[in-house]
């Protein structure tokens, strides 16, 4: 009888201890999950805050960041899939800001090209005007109605040159910095060529002068 | 067996032609400029011949133009001369031909070249020169007094040599294409 009572008592104590242990265990587990949840929540909050800061930096940037860097950052934030309404709105604003910057860059580039073309056209006009006088003299030899007139115009034109032997180079083809020339001739022979052939297939491309202002080299280009 | 030999020969020829073309390193646009330059030299020659043949050209001018004309030719180049009155084609050195042209016994001479075009494109030779053939038609009219005494139309083939050369001008090296005309052969003569 006493033995049975003892046995029951021990069992009861065991069950109480077991229940206490299980209860304790459950309580510990619940606490760990809570901590993990809290940690995850804190991490998400931190990530969201960082994303917001980065997106605001993109939105408010005044040209310090490159477009590619901005696009990479937005893509990185999008990939996080934070599902935060504020972040989503900032993403839209950041994409809009990037597009605006792209358009502005394109506009500036187009403006730059337009300006360059205008400058080149102006230079070409200046060069054409600069050599117009020499071209006119060459043309006057071609247009001469008589042999005497042609010879007189040749003599007149030769006065602008350092000597009748001044080299004349005729570019037949050019590609980047490479120039292909016809066989070099002299100004006297070239003027006689114009007189004989009654045609001027070339225009002045470049002129070199000496200290006395006389031409020492004439470069022509096929029209 | 014979067919396979022909195929092998054709393949070898193809490989060599591809190799030769790639070594040229000349773009089609650049080649076109060189072709045009050679054609222009032939047109220049046409004008010089008409000046030399023209009885109105003063003797000194004609001699000067002869010198300019000779600069267009290779040394030893020959000009073929034909007539509708004889079947034989005679060949003269260029200076002799031009001097004979200048001394022709007509009161008026009119020489005109037309249909100037390539019949054989400029092709690179093993010596590095490009060689081609340009054909022209020449109409010759000789008059004495008011009477047209001789007329003929001749088809002539002109061999053209183009060579890349260099010279120094103003202290710098200039690369240029030297176009020289070779023999001018008569291929057809009609009244």
Q: Which residue has the higher pLDDT, B172 or A10?
A: B172
The interface predicted TM-score of the complex, written ipTM, equals 0.85
Residues A123 and A49 in one domain: yes
Tell me if A8 is assigned to some domain. Answer: no
**Minimum-distance CB partner of B33 among A173, A189, A208:** A173
Tell me if B2 is assigned to some domain. Answer: no
CB contact (8 A) between residue B30 and residue A180: yes
CB contact (8 A) between residue A196 and residue B65: yes
Number of structural domains (chain B) is: 1
Range of the structural domain that residue A128 is part of: 38-133
Q: State residue B174 phi and psi, 5-degree precision.
A: -115, 125
Q: Is the pLDDT of residue A25 over 50?
A: yes
Q: What's the pLDDT at B24? A: 59
Q: Which residue of A has its CA nearest to B40?
A: A201
Residues of A in contact with B37 (CB under 8 A): 172, 182
Residues A123 and A162 in one domain: no
Q: What does the mean pLDDT of chain A come to?
A: 90
Q: What does the mean pLDDT of chain B come to?
A: 90
Tell me if A165 is assigned to some domain. Answer: yes
Tell me if B16 is assigned to some domain. Answer: no
- The residue to which tokens 């092709």 are assigned: B123
Q: A175 in contact with B at a CB cutoff of 8 Å? A: yes
Distance from CA of B12 to the nearest CA of A (A): 33
Q: What's the pLDDT at A3? A: 67
Residues A89 and A159 in one domain: no
Residues of A in contact with B175 (CB under 8 A): 179-181
Residue A162 burial (C-beta neighbours within 10 Å; 0-12, 13-18, 19+) = middle
Tell me if A116 is assigned to some domain. Answer: yes
Q: A198 in contact with B at a CB cutoff of 8 Å? A: yes
Q: Which of B134, B76, B80, B139 is nearest to B110 (CA)?
A: B139
Q: Is the pLDDT of residue A181 over 90?
A: yes
Distance from CA of B7 to the nearest CA of A (A): 39
Indicate the residue among A133, A156, A177 that finishes a domain. Answer: A133
Residues A47 and A128 in one domain: yes
Number of structural domains (chain A) is: 2
How do residues B136-183 score in pLDDT, each as one tens digit? 999 999 999 989 999 999 999 999 999 999 999 989 999 999 999 999
Residues A85 and A127 in one domain: yes
Q: A210 in contact with B at a CB cutoff of 8 Å? A: no
Tell me if B8 is assigned to some domain. Answer: no
Cα–Cα distance, B94 to B79 (Å, whole number) = 6
**Minimum-distance CB partner of A183 among B29, B68, B176:** B176
Range of the structural domain that residue B29 is part of: 25-190
Residues A42 and A86 in one domain: yes
- Give the pair of three-digit tokens for residue B159: 């061999």
Can you give the CATH number for the domain in which B72 is found?
3.10.450.50
Residues A128 and A168 in one domain: no
Indicate the residue among A133, A155, A189 that finishes a domain. Answer: A133
Q: State residue B126 phi and psi, 5-degree precision.
A: -60, -25
Q: What's the pLDDT at A6? A: 73
Q: Which residue has the higher pLDDT, B20 or A185?
A: A185
DSSP 8-state code for residue A63 = S
Tell me if B15 is assigned to some domain. Answer: no
Distance from CA of B69 to the nearest CA of A (A): 11
Cβ pairs A/B, distance under 8 A: 61
> Per-residue confidence at B19, pLDDT binned at 50, 70, 90?
very low
Q: Is the pLDDT of residue A110 over 90?
A: yes
3-state secondary structure of A118: helix
Provide the β-strand partners of residue A209.
A215
CA dihedral A130, A134, A140, A142 (to 10 degrees): -120
Q: Which residue has the higher pLDDT, B32 or B23?
A: B32
Tell me if A195 is assigned to some domain. Answer: yes
pTM (global) more than 0.80: no
How do residues A31-84 score in pLDDT, each as one tens digit? 888 899 999 999 999 999 999 999 999 999 988 888 899 999 999 999 999 999
Tell me if A183 is assigned to some domain. Answer: yes
Tell me if A208 is assigned to some domain. Answer: yes
Q: What's the pLDDT at B22? A: 40
Indicate the residue among A66, A100, A133 that finishes a domain. Answer: A133
Tell me if A158 is assigned to some domain. Answer: yes
Distance from CA of B21 to the nearest CA of A (A): 19
Residues A126 and A162 in one domain: no
**Minimum-distance CB partner of A184 among B30, B64, B169:** B169
Tell me if B67 is assigned to some domain. Answer: yes
Residues of A in contact with B167 (CB under 8 A): 184
**Minimum-distance CB partner of A184 among B64, B65, B174:** B174
Q: A164 in contact with B at a CB cutoff of 8 Å? A: no
Q: What's the pLDDT at B21? A: 40
Q: State residue B17 phi and psi, 5-degree precision.
A: -65, -40
């Amino acid at each position: 009888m006493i033995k049975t009572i003892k046995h029951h008592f021990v069992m009861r104590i065991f069950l109480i201890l077991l229940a206490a242990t299980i209860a304790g265990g459950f309580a510990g587990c619940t606490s760990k999950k809570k901590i993990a949840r809290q940690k995850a929540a804190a991490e998400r909050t931190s990530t969201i805050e960082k994303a917001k800061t980065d997106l605001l930096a993109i939105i408010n940037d005044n040209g310090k960041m490159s477009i590619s860097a901005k696009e990479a950052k937005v893509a990185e934030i999008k990939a996080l899939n934070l599902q935060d309404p504020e972040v989503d709105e900032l993403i839209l604003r950041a994409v809009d800001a990037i597009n605006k910057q792209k358009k502005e860059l394109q506009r500036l580039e187009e403006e730059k090209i337009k300006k360059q073309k205008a400058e080149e056209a102006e230079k070409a006009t200046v060069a054409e005007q600069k050599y117009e006088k020499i071209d006119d003299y060459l043309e006057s030899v071609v247009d001469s109605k008589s042999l005497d007139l042609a010879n007189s115009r040749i003599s007149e034109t030769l006065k602008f040159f350092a000597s009748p032997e001044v080299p004349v180079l005729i570019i037949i083809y050019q590609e980047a910095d490479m120039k292909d020339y016809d066989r070099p001739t002299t100004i006297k022979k070239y003027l006689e060529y114009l007189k004989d052939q009654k045609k001027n297939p070339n225009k002045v491309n470049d002129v070199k002068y000496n200290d006395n202002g006389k031409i020492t080299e004439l470069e022509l280009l096929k029209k | 067996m014979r067919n396979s030999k022909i195929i092998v020969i054709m393949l070898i020829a193809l490989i060599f032609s591809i190799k030769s073309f790639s070594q040229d390193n000349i773009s089609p646009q650049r080649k076109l400029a060189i072709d045009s330059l050679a054609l222009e030299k032939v047109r220049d020659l046409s004008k010089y011949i008409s000046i030399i043949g023209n009885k109105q050209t003063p003797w000194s001018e004609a001699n000067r133009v002869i010198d300019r004309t000779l600069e267009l030719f290779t040394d030893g180049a020959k000009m073929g001369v034909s007539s509708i009155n004889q079947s034989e084609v005679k060949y003269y050195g260029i200076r002799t031909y031009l001097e004979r042209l200048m001394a022709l016994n007509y009161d008026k001479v009119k020489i005109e070249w037309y249909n100037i075009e390539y019949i054989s494109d400029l092709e690179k030779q093993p010596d590095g020169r490009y060689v081609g053939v340009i054909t022209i038609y020449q109409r010759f009219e000789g008059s004495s007094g008011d009477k047209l005494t001789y007329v003929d139309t001749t088809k002539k083939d002109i061999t053209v040599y183009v060579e890349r050369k260099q010279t120094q001008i103003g202290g710098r090296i200039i690369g240029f294409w030297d176009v020289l005309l070779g023999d001018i052969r008569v291929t057809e003569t009609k009244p």
